[in-house]
Chain A
Amino acid sequence: MVSSPDIPDVLCRHQEVMQLVSLLGHPGESVPQSIFLTGHKSSGKSYTLMKVLDSLNIRYASVNCVEGYMPRLLFESILSQIVGETVPPSARCENIMEFILQLKIIADNHDLHESVIAVVLEGSDRLRDMNPNLLPALMRLQELSCLKKVCVILLSDVLWDKFAPSGGLPPPIQIYFPQYSQNDILKILSLDKPKDYPADFHSNYLQLFVAVFLRSCRDITELRYKAAENFSKYCEPIERGEIDINDSGKLWKHISPHLKASLQMIYMRFETGKKIATEVDSGTSMDKHSTLSSSAKYALSFELPYYAKYLIIAAFLASYNSPKEDKKLFVKLSGRNKKKVLKKNAQTKISSLVMGPRQFDLERLLAIFYSIIEEKPHISVNLLTQITSLVELQLLQKAGSDPLEAPKYKCAVGFDFIIIIAKTLSFNVTKYLVDYK
């Protein structure tokens, strides 16, 4: 149908490429107002599109909508890219009207009325949060600017339905990029084959690798990164001459713990030089605290001042006990009542530990703090600033917004964290929790 040399070859995206080419690749015909490319993160949308645009020799401007915290930046960036200059334009372009005007001027100056101009907006879901006129206007750019060959291409990992335009927009032409299948992933990953090793050796490795990783990750860039990272480990024993290159069983035995450890660290990229060391560390420490949850490990990883520890425990108690119980829990000489309450609650309510933290005010926090701590420190500035620094460390959350009203807080750490902290103080938290069984 179309002359073949123009069609770029994008692996596993042949159909989408054909669709794009059929929409944009016919110079004589009209061009759609807007095209909407959707698909999961890193499913090759931008890559495919750029390939197509490049191969069709289309003049285009590509911007990321993260930059649209000021629409001006989007407009100026688009304009300068269309003109093809690298320095920022001298003329200001504050709003969509000026943008359209300047676009026309540029088209006149550069004689662009007859050639296709593509405006690519990546991460276009962010446009929804901006000026409500912006998205409709951009989608009708062709109509508004009277340039017949302008096409706006929106890229997003959100479906068009979720754009929910209130005024109703003409739906753009949608192209959906499905997720890569296992075979696709294998094909793409095998592109990264290192030169020194035979192809089937590498593909063997990839089979093992994908089997481990596919369940938790389909992000192709992340997979590529991880595959390259682990391949060097896979080859280590071969280079050292310990394992034969064809002994896949032994190789699997060697690599599988590495892969598992690497799976734990997915999406966290640490420096490769230190990587080995940290992995060994995490491996040994995992053996040690394998029963601990991640938040418990978090609690162990840093030290808080003495009163700050009590403050965070008090905050936890305030968050997970209802104020009604305070008197029974913290006022001394009321042991009998406490037992009753315990029984009644155990039967009726859902444990508040599962319900998430409640808000509490500063006075209550301090009252609980003073009742659980043995020595009575003065309320000093130093003590109160501890609360602020706990908020800064994100161990407490500030809830009330009114600065004049008494400030309100929420405890942002969980039960495991508190248990660890309390252990360092040899303080029994569970005694003070109404719902703890």
Chain B
Amino acid sequence: MDSTMSVSKGCFAFKRKKKNQGPSSARFSGQLWYKAYRKSLASCEELLSILENQIFDEVFGGLIDYINACTSVKIHYEIPAATLLTGVNMPDHSSLFATLSKKIVCDCSPHVATLWSRDCSSLKASVERMCSQFMLVPSSEEADDPSCDDEEDGGPDSQDKKKIQRWNCNLKYLVSWYSNFQVHTSPKKKKKGNKAAPKSGGDAKPLIVILPDFESFSPRVLQEFILLLKGYQPKLPFVLVLGVATAVSAVHRSLPYHVSSSLRMKVFHSQPSLAYLNEVLEKVLFLPNRPFHLGGKTFKLLMDVFLFHDFSVMGFIQGYKYCMSQHFFDKDWTALSCLPEELPTAAKQLTKSDIESIRKLPSVRKHIESLSSRADQIAWLKDDNYVKEETVKLLEELHKYIAEFFASLKCLNLMTADLPGAPLEKHLRSVYVLASTCDIVKSQELKDSMKLLSLLSSDELEIKLNAMLCILNEAVENGAERLKDVTNKIDGFLPRFKTLWLPSSPSKSLRSPCKRPAKGVKSPLQSPSKILTNINSRSQFREKLKEMKDVSSYLSPFEKLRNEVLACLLENLFTAFLAPPQTKPLHELLFFDDIPAVKSYIVGSQRQAMLRGLKDPHFYLDCACCKLSDLGDILPSLPDVSIVYKLHLESGKLINMFDWMQSFLTITNPSTSFEEQTEVDPKLQARFTRAVAELQFLGFIKSSNRKTDHVTRLTWC
């Protein structure tokens, strides 16, 4: 701070130094786990962004065509209003509309303004915001310069610009700006040639106003705003884009008829967020070749948050990413959470302590115990290099297992999804939760659905088998060799379906069913008298009848085939490949299932946090002085609120303020141990009063009308 050495007193302004790129990332950047984490995150984000683009393209395609059409045809008096029904997943909307606005800039018109309801409490504010967004758009020379973003805190230059224009932020000025803009840009277009050519739909590009959260606008502002825009429609070609979360009728409910009749609406639907999530699951989370998977419990937690709370795909993805960071954080051995090709190099980098922590993993211990030869066990415990080699082997095995697991899970879902009543859940996501938390093969649900499956018609079965074959073949191509066996078997079944109904065979197939039932019927028919004579009791009779029924149940060739197919599937596919991940050694490396670590972060619970803070301030403050051996202890070094809170726990429904303060004083000021401190240190009294006020603000106490110097306690544990 040499530069402030000055004779005169004064204030010195320093320009803030440019921040380094994220101090936290710099600190971790060298570490193994961080590299693995970055890699995993990057690949996940890449997949997500591809998916996002693809989905947004579907939604926005029609909308952008419509906007372009609006510019070419201008005969109507109304303002064109593209209404995008977005669904109630509010947190996702901001990114949706940010993408939309970028896309419009690219494809339709450089004039885009996004008005959020929080900025538009009055007509004045909304008009100013709209105009400033239009006019601050970098004009064509600046547009080529990517650094020229109109961020909140740009250089002094842009702020200067803003000041001037804030005064001029009205529609009158916008009209003249717009006509200038048209004049300026139109000759340039010709010079620029090919670059501007695709951009220019018509001569006059429309001014697009996006209102992402239509419902939260105050109706009055909205009405006036639309009327105002309508007044300028002949001079300024406005196009509105309304983001409506609920239904189109919401627009008509908040606008009176003379306003709504000045909008020409066209409705677009965005994809329901549930469909979006299914896509995300299928294309990102459930891909077998990922180094990181969510365990069943964590996955269920995230799904519950999604389904029960907010329908927000963004929230889901954030939760997923958080789980990922938690999985990797500060654990170097997680460097092994990578693709199988990279395993050997990752294993080489492990240190002794990393190996030690791998040994400590519960699944590894189980694995060691299960080893048969003593020598192997000792090698596992002593020889680091041996452990490295074995881990790599095991992990490669695990990767294969995952590929098989997902493929067979998909097959199972395919078989059971459309069963009546869906005993095994309809969606892949729920089947995944089931399969990865318990042994699905032994579950009652699977048994039920197998029963239902044994009633399938041949057509349905054939279609399903074909679809299954596709999935399996794909999986085999991707390296799950062990599935090859089942695939071949299923492949072998398919031609038999064809021969079942071939016209050449009916003679045989017709005859055989004719004959056999005849036999089946005859034999019991002949015998009943004989059998019945041997029967002495009713129970015996019942058993006999059952036997006869079993004998008489005749299976057609198709039924036989069906049973065979189902048995084969159950045996060779589901039982073989659907063991839950927990049974595999080293599953902790690829599956994250540590719910307690993430739950409090993903599902924030403010009351719990508050109570925890009051009971155990050390948890948040992390200072040595507040460390409690027992949560009931009260130390003088605790924050005042915490002391007051702990004292109030000891009292009944009404709390005497004076007694309360006395006990507070004995704790904070134990040196002066009078019987009763009549002369109270005003500082201490003030601290006490403030703490009580804070407690009241937090809702633990309130003043009582019954007794003047008492307060009422509001919570009980």
Contact = CB atoms under 8 A, between A and B. Distances in A.
Interface in B537-583: none
A236 interface: no
Interface stretch (A138-146, A315-323, A345-353, A376-384): A376-384
B258 to A, nearest CB: 6
Interface string B242-257: 0001111110101001
Interface string B76-94: 0110000001011010000
B258 A67 contact: no
A428 B51 CA distance: 41
B17 interface: no
A267 B307 CA distance: 37
Given A306-B307, A389-B310, A67 B228 contact: yes
A67 B250 contact: no
A436 to B, nearest CB: 25
A269 B247 contact: no
Contacts of A222: 257, 261
A304 interface: yes
Interface in B44-92: 66, 77-78, 85, 87-88, 90
Contact of B231 (A67, A76, A304, A378): A67
Contacts of A80: 172
A87 interface: yes
B672 interface: no
B311 interface: yes
Nearest to B87: A302
A13 to B, nearest CB: 20
Contact of A267 (B215, B216, B261): B261
B307 A271 contact: no
Contacts of A378: 603, 605, 608
Contacts of B267: 270, 274, 278
Contacts of B127: 69
Interface in B492-526: none
B172 A267 contact: no
A377 B308 contact: yes
A239 interface: no
Interface in A65-79: 66-67, 69-70, 73, 76-77
Contacts of A381: 603-606
A70 B170 CA distance: 10
A394 to B, nearest CB: 5
B377 interface: no
B91 to A, nearest CB: 9
Interface string A60-99: 0000101101100100110010000011100000000000
Contacts of A221: 77, 261
B171 interface: yes
B66 to A, nearest CB: 8
Interface in A385-421: 385-386, 389, 392-395
A227 to B, nearest CB: 14
A306 B309 CA distance: 7
Given A222-B261, A268-B260, A302 B246 contact: yes
B417 interface: no
B257 to A, nearest CB: 4
Contact of A393 (B88, B171, B607): B88
A104 to B, nearest CB: 22
Nearest to A157: B258
A305 B310 contact: yes
Contacts of A394: 215-216, 246, 250, 254
B247 A298 contact: yes
A389 B88 contact: yes
A305 B274 CA distance: 11
Contacts of B264: 269-271
Interface in B185-240: 213, 215-216, 224, 227-228, 231
Contacts of A123: 227
A382 B604 CA distance: 7
B311 A305 contact: yes
B122 interface: yes
Contacts of B172: 73, 76-77, 80, 88
Interface string A300-341: 011111111000000000000000000000000000000000
B283 interface: no
B266 A393 contact: no
B124 interface: yes
A219 B87 CA distance: 34
Interface in B295-317: 305, 307-311
A202 interface: no
Contact of A303 (B175, B258, B272, B603): B272
Q: Which 5 A-B pairs have the closest CB atoms?
A: A271-B266, A381-B604, A301-B247, A267-B257, A382-B309
Given A123-B227, A306-B309, 12 more contacts: A42-B258, A80-B172, A266-B257, A268-B260, A298-B246, A298-B249, A305-B309, A306-B307, A306-B308, A307-B308, A389-B310, A395-B246
8 contacts: A66-B228, A219-B258, A269-B260, A274-B267, A304-B88, A306-B308, A379-B607, A380-B604
